[in-house]
Amino acid sequence: MPHKTSSKTPPKGKSPVTPVSKARKLAIIGGGNMASSLIGGLLQDGWKAKQFRVADPNPAQRDLLSERFGVAAYADNSEAVQGADGVVLAVKPQMLGGVVAELAPALRKTRPLIISIAAGVRAADIQRWIGEPLPVVRVMPNTPALVAAGASGLYATPEVNNVQIDFAESLMRAVGLVVWVQQESLMDVVTGLSGSGPAYLFLVLEAMEDAAVAQGLDRRTARLLTLQTVFGAAKMALESEDTPATLRSHVTSPGGTTAAGIRELERGLRSLFYEAVDAATARSQAMANHYGAEE
């Protein structure tokens, strides 16, 4: 399946990885949307509920996680990280500094692999908040992880060993595609492309559907045809050796309907996407400067 494909390139100097035992324990700090996607995917991939320790201050969220997945849910973050091999930081970026500083004594004691999914927060800042350069893997997932069709970009600090690389990769592969980047600065464009990308494409779906309704198609039919067309095009492009440009040429007959439609899209679509990815990447960089600023 394409979504299970990994195009892993371990960071320079790392040799092939060692298989990881499924007996590992994972703590997740912040039991919201992304945490639920990850737990759901890992349970489907063979993990057991007892391998998770999730922390969230919201009692309703803890009840939801326990009832839905049968995992242990804690109000106290430090309690959740006890005995964990990996700690996933899944709170909002603006809270991360405070949460990590509070967790620091527990983390320095147990020295787990830190896996941060927070947008726009650099690994060096996480290490500074901990007070020690513990191994950190930064991950930028996306919401299709919920349906095991996510795309995650990963970056490892030099402190991360090969077994931990495999551990982090196996976690994210349970919910979709995994790619490694060699430079942390590239995590900003990964965020602006695949992290935010589902929202761009939901907007494209809305626009295509509305345009067909405006031409007289009923909404239900317009939505179904739009969704299946976008799904089919993505599946075809994933499975084909041809580039998207070649696949597009196969649809476009000289003087035909597609050429007429494409001529309109070419008026602005490419530059809009350049600008959208540029703005989202710049926002990720700005968040990193802001949230990582020393007091």
Ligand X SMILES: NC(=O)C1=CN([C@@H]2O[C@H](COP(=O)(O)OP(=O)(O)OC[C@H]3O[C@@H](n4cnc5c(N)ncnc54)[C@H](O)[C@@H]3O)[C@@H](O)[C@H]2O)C=CC1
Residue number, nearest CB to ligand A1CAB: 195
- At which residue do the structure tokens 């930028």 appear? 140
Among ligand X, ligand A1CAB, none, the one that 174 touches (CB under a kind-dependent 5 to 8 A) is none
* Residue in 56, 125, 169, 209 binding ligand X, rule: CB under 6 A: 56
Residue 127: CB atoms within 10 A of its CB come to 18
Least separation in angstroms between residue 250's CB and ligand A1CAB is: 33
Strand boundaries in the chain, DSSP class E: 6-7, 26-29, 52-55, 72-74, 86-89, 113-116, 136-140, 150-156, 176-180
In the chain, count H helices and then E strands. Answer: 12, 9
Least separation in angstroms between residue 273's CB and ligand X is: 18
Total residues at interface with ligand X (CB under 6 A): 27
What x-and-dash track marks residues 92-121 binding ligand X by CB under 6 A? xx-x---x-----------------xxx--
Among ligand A1CAB, ligand X, none, the one that 34 touches (CB under a kind-dependent 5 to 8 A) is ligand X
Among ligand A1CAB, ligand X, none, the one that 56 touches (CB under a kind-dependent 5 to 8 A) is ligand X
DSSP 3-state assignment of 31? coil
Instruction: Count the alpha carbons within 13 Å of 222 in the hemisphere toward its beta carbon.
Output: 15
What x-and-dash track marks residues 176-215 binding ligand X by CB under 6 A? -------------------x--------------------
